Structure 1
Amino acid sequence: MDTGTAETTTVNAKAIRTKTQNKATRDKATNRTKDKVTMNATAMQHKKVLITGGNSGIGLETAKALIAQGAEVIIASRDSQKTQDALNLLGKGALHLSVELSDFDSVRRLAAAYLEQHDRLDVLINNAGVFPGKAQMTQQGFEMQIGVNHLSHFLLTQLLLPTLIETGESRVITVSSMLHQKGAIDFESFRGGDRYSAQKAYGQSKLANVLFALELAERLKHPSVTSNVLHPGGVATDIVRDMPWLIRKLLGLIFISPEEGAQTSIMLATDPSLDTTNGAYYDQCQLKPPATIAGDSALRSKLWDESLSAVNLTEDLF
């Protein structure tokens, strides 16, 4: 066997071992979570859940599981055939409210419509995300990924927190990514710039998700409301398929299904043992430490203040 063949064989063997180990870890986490869901099959009866981007991928699978446990799920997404197909699939337990997350005015209309139609909110799942390969801007002039993935969810959470607090024993769940570990916050880039890197913008937005969720947990003065954040795993959704191969490799050598990827969101929404868990980061159903930078309280506070200004709020609404 020549050197090249030997090296290739070694690399392939290593890749196979890594794939097997990754899959075993994911299977263990997924099976554990499914057991919990089965054990708490009526845990969500009479509860209301709002999921952004609940018309496909992880959001849709999360909605399916929560409806199966008795929850009323409100999907916040664009008016589209995809949304109608999701509603047909989900059945009578699902409702829809229209939103364009790249427009803060639309987010405000979403919150107003929700509050007009519903008197409680038990779980808010900030799930929707985008990964445009080319630079795009939101309606208010922010780089698309920080605008949609972070700022719009920051605004929506602010607008709905009074109702979450009034409901009591409610949860805010934010879907981030392991790629937050590769992210850095560059406040000047929030308004765009001459050089756009989709990967850097995504990492920044996912880090912002983590910083926001942990800072919210710190600022909440109501022990009945919790804020946690998660990495769902390397899920084979449209947003991941559009990513460069290196990013996909970092997410995992074997993609998991949207159903498997939804398990962490489902666990955080339903598990009664997590009623008081606050300010935690979960990676595929496992409690893990986030990136070290997430512990930077000064950065979290600055991001919070910058986010308030960006969405035209002078103070917190809770």
Structure 2
Amino acid sequence: MAFSLKIALKEPETKSALFVFGNILLFIFIIFFVHSGTYTFIYIIIQIFIFRIINERLRSGHSYTSTKNLNNQTVIVTGAASGIGRMTAIELAKLHARVIVGIRNQMRAERVAQELSKESNGNVIGYNLDLTDLASVKAFAEKIDKVDILINNAGVIKEHKEFTKDGLESTFGTNHIGHFYLTQLLLPLLIKSNGRIVNVSSQGHVYAKENTDFIHSNSYDPFRAVSESKLANILHVNELQRRYGNQGIKAYSLHPGGVRTTGLSRDNKSYKMLIISLLSKIISKSIRQGAMTTLYCALSDEAQPGKYHSNCRVAQPSSIAYDSKKARELWELSEKIINEKTKHL
């Protein structure tokens, strides 16, 4: 836990949270111990004019702006209907990339693609992609003729244990297995283009236990499930880079930061998520700020293949996240699951 705290303290949202907490303590002190209406009034005025400015600077983190022309490049973004996936797709389309968004339901995918094309004045194509259905993943991949950048962005967290159409625990099945299969299917095209693979993980991976088997065969806890799936995103990148780096593949994982109005918790209405949602309105990044590290990993020459990134720079993940043995074991488990679940396709 001490190591997790050390990692967390480097994040913009943590600095913002500490700043907010310190201001709350100061406000309590003034109310109860400073018996002066003048000082209290001065403090409130300072808070109104300065607090928001300082807090915004703390929580926003570093920004990244690219001037690259992505003409003739094809980018795939999963989970682009909302949140940072949507913003990522817009920003890449503005750079003249052909952007393909994978979204559940073909009519919805086409509608969202039209919206994104209009917002970006770019070229966005929408295809049906249901990461909970490996047959859908395969059908999506068969439509792709070229890909230079694959951004595995989509993610869920389920309040109760649910299962994908293939019988997998839903959080792990969606966040990792669906993306693992999509990446495997697109690997020949990515190798051909010396492409990039970007997995959107989370700082929450630090809460995954070292002895996790990722299966959740017994008890289920939503925070444990999502932390382990996000650990899997990082391990996936590490093993991708080890296996295919010498063939031109460049793979990256990242923590986007705490982001307001993200769709990740849309299926979780527990009191914990309500509290987190309320707090996030104060300390979290905007959606655009949250997309910065994704864009950094997708485009910047300073991003480091095989590494975990946060706040537009290389960051330190948990020790298990760089465990090469664990990465190989997860890869073998993922291949076994894929082979078993897709043998009829």
For Structure 1 versus Structure 2, the TM-score category normalised by the shorter chain is 0.7 to 0.9
| Coordinate RMSD, CA, aligned | 3.0
Q: Distance in 1 between matches of 2:28 and 2:57?
A: 18
Work out the number of aligned pairs and report it. Answer: 292
Answer whether contact 2:156 2:265 (CA < 8 A) is retained. no
Query: 2:99 matched to which residue of 1?
Result: 73
- Residue in structure 1 matched with residue 298 of structure 2 by the alignment: 269
**1:2-52 alpha-carbon deviations (Å, 9 max, x no partner):** xxxxx9634879xx999987743443402xx13xx2xx142x121100111
CA distance in 2, matches of 1:218, 1:158: 15
Indicate the residue corresponding to 2:17 in structure 1: none
- In structure 1, the partner of 2:314 is 287
Note if contact 1:165-1:222 (Cα within 8 Å) is conserved in structure 2: no
Q: What is the match of residue 96 of structure 1?
A: 126
Q: Which residue of 2 aligns with 1:177?
A: 202
Within 5 Å, give how 1:1-318 maps onto structure 2: 9-10=25-26, 23-30=56-63, 33-34=64-65, 37=66, 40-42=67-69, 44-79=70-105, 83-91=109-117, 93-114=123-144, 118=145, 120-168=146-194, 170-184=195-209, 190=215, 192-236=216-260, 237-240=262-265, 242=268, 244-245=272-273, 254-274=283-303, 277-312=304-339
Q: More displaced, 192-201 or 235-244?
A: 235-244
Q: Which amino acid aligns with 1:150?
A: H
TM-score, scaled relative to structure 1:
0.82
CA distance in 1, matches of 2:24, 2:80: 42
Distance in 2 between residues matched to 1:269 and 1:310, nearest whole Å: 28
Q: In 1, distance between residues paired with 2:110 and 2:27?
A: 46
For residues 163-189 of structure 1, what are the alpha-carbon distances to aligned partners after superposition, in whole Å with 9 as ceiling and x for unaligned?
A: 111112x10000000000111366655
Structure 2 vs 1, CA of residues 194 and 76 (structure 1 numbering), >3 Å: closer, same or farther?
A: same
Residues 293 and 311 in structure 2, CA contact (< 8 A), matched pair in contact too: yes
Percent of pairs with identical residues: 31
| Aligned partners of 2:106 and 2:128 also within 8 Å | no
- Partners of 2:288 and 2:300 lie apart in 1 by 17
The aligned amino acid for 1:196 is: Y
Mapped to 2, the partners of 1:255 and 1:27 lie a distance apart of 8
Distance 1:100 1:270 in 2: 26
Report the Cα offset of residue 199 of structure 1: 0.7
Tell me the CA shift for residue 313 of structure 1.
7.3
Does the 8 Å CA contact 2:212/2:228 hold for their aligned counterparts?
Answer: no
